[in-house]
Amino acid sequence: MSVPLSALALLLAGAAAAPAFADCKGLKVDNAWIPEAPPVASVLAGFASLVNDGDQPLHIDAVDGADFGSVELHQMSMEGGMMQMRPLQGLDLPAHGNVALAEGGKHLMLMNPKHPFKAGDASVVLFHCGKQATAARFTVKAAQP
Amino acid sequence: MSNRLLSWGLLAGFAVLIGIVAGLVVLRPASVQIQSGTLLQQARPIADFSLNGSDGKPFTKADLAGHWSVIYVGYTHCPDVCPTTLAQLKAVEKGLGEDAGKIRFIFLSIDPERDTPEALGQYTHYFSPDFLAVTGPNAQLDVLGANLGFVYAKVPGATPQSYLMDHSSALILINPRAGLAGYLTPPFKTDALVSDLKQLVEKSW
């Protein structure tokens, strides 16, 4: 399933074609951005605010993007002076709820970018919820310390 | 004359007083207080180690002598906190002005499997050409970790190549005698780091 959807993402990014799949009902992806990283970076972070405007809870079970080898969801935490990251098995958004993908917390791991990104670039990432998927445009911005 | 004797006596008294004050100033115990972490009461010696610098040269204890060093332990497959911290250290370097030349910032990768010295150097120098990038065999990283008080652990990821590394988050302070001087702990504030590091370099250890 993810292969044709990735191809669609490419189409979407290139030609701004209308997606041929249904959106995740109620899902809105706001303030989606990627902190600019060194050109050699093999992983980029993705941050956004995910909002479920719908009356039903949503479960995001996968994320991918045509510009990346794979995309994972991770949770960062600081435990006893240790910086830890753990993969997440999807994300749950309650009805009319939201989840922040933000620095120091949950974030996207955009693995193996197919080309370097610099501030001002953009990339389309797909959030899958079962058979539906919502496309979101992430813009690359300079990281602010 | 008694007046003359009194003058000499006063002068001698002054001299003694000045001597005492001067002695107190010179012999005053170290009183550097930092806001961003903890200084050890006494710097701790570090055992010899041999890592690899991104310039292709070995990086050893001798490279820590003669200047203050700030070591940040991390890895390049960490997209969130590691680049943020390196970007912050770049801001600190800028804030230090001329004092920046008295401090070496070192990015120490605890992921030698994926971070080759060359790639690590390219990654690190994106933030500042003056930052040093070092890594090395796990056996050497373990020796240094035991000496500097940092730990790290490999955690399986979704695929064999996407494993994760847990690692200590503190910045490690090394004094110009290559001794462990203390730690700077998160959350880091650029201004506080700048003022702490300025204090340290201005004090001769």
Q: What is the pLDDT along chain A (145 residues), one digit of tens a residue?
A: 444 555 555 444 444 444 557 899 999 999 999 999 999 999 999 999 999 999 999 999 999 999 999 999 999 999 889 999 999 999 999 999 999 999 889 999 999 999 999 999 999 999 999 999 999 999 999 877 6
B120: closest chain A residue by CA: A40
Q: Which two tokens stand for residue B45?
A: 């010696």
Nearest to B158 among A40, A76, A87 (CB): A87
Q: What does the alpha-carbon distance between residue B124 and residue B132 come to, in Å, rounded to a whole number?
A: 7
Question: What is the Cα A89 distance to its own chain's centre?
Answer: 14
Which of B72, B76, B78, B80 is the best substitution to test chain A (most A C-beta atoms within 10 A)?
Answer: B80
Chain A residues near any Cβ of chain B (below 8 Å): 35, 37-45, 70, 72, 74, 76, 78, 81-87, 103-104, 107, 109-111, 143-145
Provide the pLDDT for residue B31.
Answer: 67
Say if residue B187 is preceded by a cis peptide, omega within 30 of 0. yes
Greatest Cα-to-Cα distance within chain A, rounded to the nearest angstrom: 48
Chain B partners within 8 Å of A145 (Cβ): 84, 87-88, 90-91, 190
Q: What does the alpha-carbon distance between residue A36 and residue A139 come to, in Å, rounded to a whole number?
A: 9
Judged by DSSP in three states, B171 sits in strand
Q: What does the alpha-carbon distance between residue A10 and residue A89 come to, in Å, rounded to a whole number?
A: 25
Provide the pLDDT for residue A50.
Answer: 98
- One DSSP character per residue, B52-105 reads EETTSSEEEGGGGBTSEEEEEEE-TT--SHHHHHHHHHHHHHHHHGGGGGGEEE
Nearest to B167 among A45, A82, A109 (CB): A82
Domain ranges in chain A are: 2-139
Nearest to B79 among A37, A81, A87 (CB): A37
Q: What does the alpha-carbon distance between residue B79 and residue A84 come to, in Å, rounded to a whole number?
A: 12
The complex's ipTM works out to 0.79
Chain A partners within 8 Å of B172 (Cβ): none
Chain A partners within 8 Å of B107 (Cβ): none
Q: Do B80 and A107 touch (CB under 8 A)?
A: yes
Provide the pLDDT for residue A54.
Answer: 95
- One DSSP character per residue, A77-132 reads EEETTEEEEEE-S-EEE-TT-EEEE-TTSEEEEEEEESS---TT-EEEEEEEETTE
A109: closest chain B residue by CA: B79
Q: Do A83 and B74 touch (CB under 8 A)?
A: yes
Question: What is the Cα B90 distance to its own chain's centre?
Answer: 14
Q: Which two tokens stand for residue B160?
A: 């064999």
Burial of B125 (C-beta count, 10 Å sphere; 0-12/13-18/19+): middle
Q: What does the alpha-carbon distance between residue B151 and residue B153 come to, in Å, rounded to a whole number?
A: 7
Contact B76/A at CB under 8 A: yes
A142: closest chain B residue by CA: B87
Residue showing tokens 């992921």: B111
Residue showing tokens 């006596």: B9
> What number does CATH give the domain A2-139?
2.60.40.1890
Provide the pLDDT for residue B33.
Answer: 86
In chain B, DSSP finds a helix count (H) and a strand count (E) of 5, 10
Burial of B41 (C-beta count, 10 Å sphere; 0-12/13-18/19+): exposed
Q: What does the alpha-carbon distance between residue A14 and residue A135 come to, in Å, rounded to a whole number?
A: 13
| Average of per-residue pLDDT values in chain A | 88
Q: Which two tokens stand for residue B15?
A: 């001299």
Q: What is the pLDDT along chain B (205 residues), one digit of tens a residue?
A: 566 766 776 667 667 666 665 555 554 445 688 999 999 999 999 999 999 999 999 999 999 999 999 999 999 999 888 998 999 999 999 999 999 999 999 999 999 999 999 999 999 999 999 999 999 999 999 999 999 999 999 999 888 888 999 999 999 999 999 999 999 999 999 999 999 999 999 875 5
CB pairs < 8 Å spanning A and B: 97
Q: Do A109 and B186 touch (CB under 8 A)?
A: no
Judged by DSSP in three states, A59 sits in strand
